[in-house]
């Protein structure tokens, strides 16, 4: 989450008046994240999240994202739900941006990830994958393999300023992934961005998932690979195999995965590391001046990528 677009008091009051949630009591920008402008909104009826969808989000994708949240919530997956206004529409316009009000989800994201958090994530993600199987809409993953080379080219003039030789390293890795990317794995709706700040807990019990604005149709094991990168490296960037084993074991207890998915995990983890390295590298140079957003270091994902390049097989993730 982030704030790129400022909303005046007058515009906010008029916008909220379209809903049956009472008057505005407070509205505060949320600085975490990178994609959209988000505010913590308090009204007479309670707490909500107000989201303005910025230019990097295709407005044509918004019915998928909003519809998916409603679908998953109806099947028992704890996640926010878009509110409909008095006219029945949940997608509106505010300050020249598509906008929606989303229900507030109780809990906090874990600042210090424990084994219990990893287990809760694994089981919850498996339930999410199963719950999305009958979602009727489809959205391709525009930040998978086919989208990485354009991102790399967009950073050609800047990559070596971040780290000497980085461009050549990324080109070689992308060449490898394009030649070896797995096909035919079990697929369906995935979240595709399950970082710790998008997963809420109350204590060590999972209380919900947020920020579905990268959700798409892709292989389930790719979602696992994203989580291996996001949850199983310590602050010093050492890989914690115990956390990985706990995450994967909890997932398999709900939805077992095939031998082909297991074998593909190392290359999917490399791809996941490259994807977030490339988007962080792009954002490092393209975040608008004055935006209330914290840029993230792309080189953290270069360290993850090098780890996955050096392993012998999926046993490095704690699998038998």
User: Do 246 and 304 lie in a common domain?
Assistant: yes
Q: Which of 103, 127, 145 is the last residue of a domain?
A: 103
Q: How confident is the model at residue 32 (pLDDT cuts 50, 70, 90)?
A: low
Q: Are residues 57 and 98 in the same domain?
A: yes
pLDDT of residue 188: 98
pLDDT in tens, 294-304: 678 999 999 99
How many domains is the chain built from? Answer: 2
Tell me, yes or no, whether 272 and 194 share the same domain: yes
pLDDT of residue 97: 94
User: Do 92 and 218 fall into the same domain?
Assistant: no
How far from chain centre, in Å, is Cα 96? 25
* 278 shares its domain with 178: yes
Among residues 103, 123, 149, which one ends one of the domains?
A: 103
Higher pLDDT among residues 291 and 93, named by residue: 93
pTM above 0.75, yes or no: yes
Q: Which one-letter DSSP state was computed for residue 35?
A: S
Mean pLDDT of the region 223-243: 98
d(CA 241, CA 251): 15
Q: Tell whether the model's pLDDT for residue 55 goes beyond 90.
A: no
Residue 30: what pLDDT?
Answer: 86
pLDDT in tens, 131-140: 999 999 999 9
- Give me the domain span that covers residue 309: 115-317
If pLDDT is split at 50, 70 and 90, which confidence band does 189 have?
A: very high
Q: Which CATH number does the domain housing residue 162 bear? A: 3.90.1200.10
pLDDT at 172: 98
Task: State the pLDDT confidence band at 193, using cuts at 50, 70 and 90.
Answer: very high
Q: Kindly give, in sequence order, each residue whose CB lies less than 8 Å from that of residue 112, ignoring residues fewer than 6 positions away.
A: none
The pLDDT of residue 1: 42
The pLDDT tens digits for 234-285 are: 999 999 999 999 999 999 999 999 999 999 999 999 999 999 999 999 988 7
pLDDT above 70 for 290: no
Q: Extract long-range pairs of 285-289: CB within 8 Å, 24+ residues apart.
A: 285/155, 285/158, 287/34, 288/4
Is 297 a domain residue?
A: yes
Q: Which of 200, 201, 255 is nearest to 223 (CA)?
A: 255
Is residue 175 domain-resident? yes
Which pairing describes strands 92-94 and 37-43: parallel, antiparallel, or unpaired?
unpaired
Q: On the CB side of 179, how many CA atoms lie within 13 Å of its CA? A: 6
């Amino acid at each position: 989450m982030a704030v790129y677009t400022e909303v005046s008091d007058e515009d906010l009051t008029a916008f909220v008046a379209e809903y049956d949630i009472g008057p505005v009591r407070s509205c505060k920008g949320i600085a975490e994240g990178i994609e959209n402008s988000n505010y913590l909104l308090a009204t007479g009826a309670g707490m909500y999240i107000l989201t303005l969808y910025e230019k990097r989000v295709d407005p044509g994708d918004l019915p998928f994202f909003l519809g998916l949240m409603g679908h998953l919530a109806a099947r028992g997956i704890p996640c926010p739900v878009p509110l409909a206004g008095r006219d029945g529409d949940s997608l509106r316009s505010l300050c020249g941006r598509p906008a929606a009000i989303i229900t507030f989800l109780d809990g906090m994201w874990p600042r210090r990830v424990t084994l219990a958090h990893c287990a809760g994530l694994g089981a919850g993600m498996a339930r999410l994958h199963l719950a999305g199987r009958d979602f009727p809409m489809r959205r391709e993953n525009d930040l998978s393999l086919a989208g990485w080379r354009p991102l790399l080219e967009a950073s050609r003039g800047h990559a070596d300023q971040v780290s000497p030789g980085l461009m050549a390293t990324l080109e070689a890795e992308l060449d490898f992934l394009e030649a070896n990317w797995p096909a035919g794995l079990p697929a369906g709706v995935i979240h595709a961005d399950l970082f710790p700040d998008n997963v809420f807990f109350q204590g060590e019990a999972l209380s919900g998932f947020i920020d579905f604005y990268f959700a798409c149709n892709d292989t389930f094991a790719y979602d696992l690979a994203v989580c291996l990168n996001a949850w199983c490296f310590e602050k010093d960037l050492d890989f914690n195999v115990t956390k990985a084993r706990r995450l994967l074991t909890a997932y398999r207890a709900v939805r077992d995965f095939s031998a082909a998915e297991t074998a593909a995990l190392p290359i999917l983890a490399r791809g996941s590391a490259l994807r977030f390295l490339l988007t962080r590298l792009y954002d490092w140079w393209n975040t608008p001046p004055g935006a209330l957003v914290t840029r993230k270091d792309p080189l953290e994902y270069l360290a993850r990528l090098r780890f996955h390049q050096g392993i012998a097989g999926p046993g490095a993730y704690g699998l038998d």
